[in-house]
Structure 1
């Protein structure tokens, strides 16, 4: 039983769905701007008679039997067509009339039925058909009018055209909402010529009015110019009076001005003088601080450094001399010790040889002993001679340093000249402005570099004994001697090792 109820409910639901689908398929609704034309059976429509063969529905829905009836739509929207019609007036003047016609299908059933019979499948052809209708009637109406009538009363042309086309438009099921004549073109210039007398008259009146206006404007300008001249005269008179008063005041001011200027200038001069004095004092103080004191400090620094360097060099020279003397004594002692040791060794070897070869050893030992003693004495004499030579050389250096330095410089003269000429070794290109003379001068300067060094050495020798008080005479201390006056410089002692 429950299964049967379910099947019955399903059948009922399916039937409802089918009915709804069929209803939607059969139900048609007309939009506000369209009309439904239903054909396929005879219908009786009020006002249209019987047996029309189709039914018209507007603004509502209706049932349509699919397969039995056909439904088509007729638009009730506005349409327009542009008019451009060549016409000839009653006077035989060709014109072109341009305008626009706005029309639509009538809202009554008769108009819809007439439009459906003529345009249902050709709704896009409506503007062309309407243009043909209006063009024919417009030519007919223009042919009965003159150009003056059309220009002066264009509404008459519009009304006659609408009235003439009304019957035919009603038969087509159309109504005219608006008819406007925009423009009337005149290829022959008739309208222009028609307007020329009026335009000339208007131009004449305009010129007359302009001339009158110019005359009145000129009179007004002359009167204004006269008033301006009068006002200018009065103003100049007043200005002359004011100028006289200003000149009088200016003269009084000019008399007081020079005195005030002189007093002010005197005060300015006093102040400028004081400022100049203060500026001079400031510059003097600035000079003391910026120039004099730094210069004194630099001079004191250089003097102190020179004295310290001089004392250091003297101390070094003395130490070097002492070292040389000690080295000579040590060398003599070494030679003597070596000679004694050699003698003792030789004596020992002699005694050993005498013990081994007693037969011949005594004579040979005596000879060997004599030979060793001779060699020892020779070595001793050689060491003493070298010591004496070193001592004599040191004494000679102390007595006549200049001669010793000159001798050493003479021995090393070639090397000095070579070192002086080495300055030209890195010169890749040399330009001489005076030819061979310039070359000779260049080599002469290179060769005289050694002489310059010799003169410098002499000056140094002249001043080296200043701190120690051991100079041979007072002239050396004063910068004069056998080699001439010595220039300023730091004394450098020349020892045997420096040579």
Structure 2
């Protein structure tokens, strides 16, 4: 019996331990800075659509069925992302905006659900996504502002950026706890140049205030030194007076007797001194009347003359300066007029030269055209004349061949004789046996061999009548220069 009780008790304890272990395995508690996302069954959460597919637990515990439901945690801690955005203002000035965004997942179930759908397994990428959202809106907002607006009302820039990003952050399930613009960097120096006039004015006012303070301090020091000197003087005077009184009393005490004599003599001296003073006054008045007043009059005269001369020189110098200024203005006007006239003359010469060049070119073109037309007319006239001559010769040959042949022979007879005489060109020595008759006979034979004579002319004319004029438009008689030369048999003796 005791053994049975022990077994039952052991079994009960084991069952309790198993139940505790199972309970701890199934029980999940959400920390204050996190939310439990339990998926695996259909749940209805207030504020969310039906059939969301997961359950949200915050700040309490809940039972989870292992193997059936999955539990994941979504942090509700604050997150921070640095903003380093390159922007361009409405004025086209590039700026670098530096700031920080502090955000977190919203505490309501809608925000937690939106954030869970987007960042549950990518919570490390949350800062990057937020940075991209704020960077885009910050560039857009800065593009519509000027540098002066951003400097004077930075809160306006912050408010507009938060308002522009609010909707997108709400879709992401995030809320912005803080947005701060720390610094606006200006690589072009525009902001520094914008502050220079104010800085210069502040420096000017500071220097003026410092100079005024120095002046007041110097005046105060001088007044202090003057009062110190005055006090020292008064003190020394009083001390000297007291010392004189002491000396006087001592002298009286030591010289009581001599003082009586001295007093008597002093009275005499006083009277004499009074007389001397009256005499001196009389002499001084006489000197005033005789010397000083005339001297003052002469000094006044010289001073007046000197001032008048100085004013005259100043007036002359001013007149000279005015004259020089007028002369310079006149010279400038003259130079300007001369320059304008020269420019107009240069323009006129250029126009005349251009006109002359154009006229010369047109004249040369007309002359060349006229020469070409004249040469063409001359060639045409020459050709027509030669054609007319050929026609005339042809007509003459048809009517009187003998006369035409005789004319041709007469025109070419020098050539015929020259051709016949060429037969003697190679003879070194010649001996004639029958004298002058032999010479005449020899020349007759040479001429007969050098040219064909009238018979040859007739043959040529007959050939021309059969074949017509030659292709080049000239008569065959024009080409007669004599037959080939032959050596005359010569008997040498």
Query: What's the TM-score once normalised by structure 1's chain length?
Result: 0.47
Larger Rg: 1
